[in-house]
Amino acid sequence: MEITPKGILKINFLAHLNPFFYNGGGEQYTRAIVNEGRRRGHRIRVISVYPKSRRILSRLLRFRKPDLWMLFDVFNCPDHKKHFSDSFLKKIVSRENYILGQNAYGDICYLNALPCNGNIGDGTNCVEKKEDYFGVRGNNSGWRNGYCPVNDNKELFTKAVFNIFLSPLHASVFQKIYPGLKEKTFILKPLVDVDLFRDKGIKRDIKYASYGGHSETKGFYNIMEMFPNEEVIFFGSKNDKLPRKFGYGKVIGRIPYDEMPEFLNRVEYYIHMPRWPEPHGLIVNQAALSGCKLITNDNVGAMTHSYDMMDREAYRKNAEELWEKIEDTVKQKRCVKP
């Protein structure tokens, strides 16, 4: 029998994408969470569906009797051919010994970027029209034939010990759909490398830039309407469908994470005007800390926190706060265990 030192937790960390192989905004969060947990001495094993090369190994190495499960974005990337099986997830949910985390809305909507903005219908039938999904929103794939998973996935949220959301705005969308979550909510403050992102005082030769702003989700139409005669530099994905269609903006594609501080120091105005209720938007914090002037709207989760975005010290213990919550929760569960 495996013996764990007192206070050290054995945790199975479940995520569709392994955060140590992918570098999206969500994976930046989950990677930072796992790293902080390991720094505190906890034994954490990551179980993922992708990359495929790690799929079987991660399942084999998981703890058979963990102290806790942590689930993040379990239904992420609905277009992928492989996901965690329903039976596997139902077994975890039935034990009610897990924390559920959301980096976006993938566990309540299998379409790209919550086209209803959380204004669901009956929770079974999608309110989005197919022609709008492919036309106005510029999607190339992902249509789910009118299916909404809100009702089917309700227990995933309600049976969790608590739910992690990235901002007050993010939490409000889920709480509107599942009102009972208000008592089971932890809002994680942004996890930003404040030593990496800072104003270097160099010449800013890019007037306007936006991460993902060339997509409908991140606010392509909003940006084009506000700055019709400006050249906005769009970075992130290489998908230039909407910019080509309207002859607007310049798409430069992905910028490696380690090159982001240098790039943001070239930007005078960083624009973030999403259509959807952006869960957080780490890039907003990174741009602000790098000296960019922000242009945002009311759909940016990063702007709904109560802390001072420019206070570097406000970022340093955010991951610690989450782990203190996790440790206290496990301790309390052990105290009431018969």
Determine, yes or no, domain membership for 47: yes
Examine the pLDDT at 4 and tell me if it is beyond 90. no
Determine, yes or no, domain membership for 83: yes
Q: What are 269-289's pLDDT values in tens digits?
A: 999 999 999 999 999 999 999
Same domain as 273, residue 168: no
What CATH number does residue 60 fall under? 3.40.50.2000
The domain containing residue 285 runs over which residues? 206-313
Same domain as 183, residue 66: yes
pTM over 0.85: yes
**Mean predicted confidence (pLDDT) in 310-320:** 94
Determine, yes or no, domain membership for 167: yes
- Confidence class for position 336, pLDDT limits 50, 70, 90: low
- Confidence class for position 1, pLDDT limits 50, 70, 90: very low
Same domain as 327, residue 306: no
- pLDDT cut 90: percent of the chain above it: 89
Determine, yes or no, domain membership for 135: no
Determine, yes or no, domain membership for 28: yes
Determine, yes or no, domain membership for 121: no
Same domain as 332, residue 260: no
**Mean predicted confidence (pLDDT) in 93-115:** 97
Examine the pLDDT at 133 and tell me if it is beyond 80. yes
Task: Give the pLDDT score at 149.
Answer: 97
Report the domain count for the chain. Answer: 2
Per-residue DSSP letter, 235: E
Determine, yes or no, domain membership for 141: no
- Confidence class for position 191, pLDDT limits 50, 70, 90: very high
Task: Report which of 278, 281, 208, 217 is spatially closest to residue 248, judged by C-alpha positions.
Answer: 208
Determine, yes or no, domain membership for 93: yes
The average confidence (pLDDT) of the chain is 95
- The answer for residues whose C-beta is within 8 angstroms of residue 109's C-beta and 6 or more apart is 115, 116, 148, 149, 150
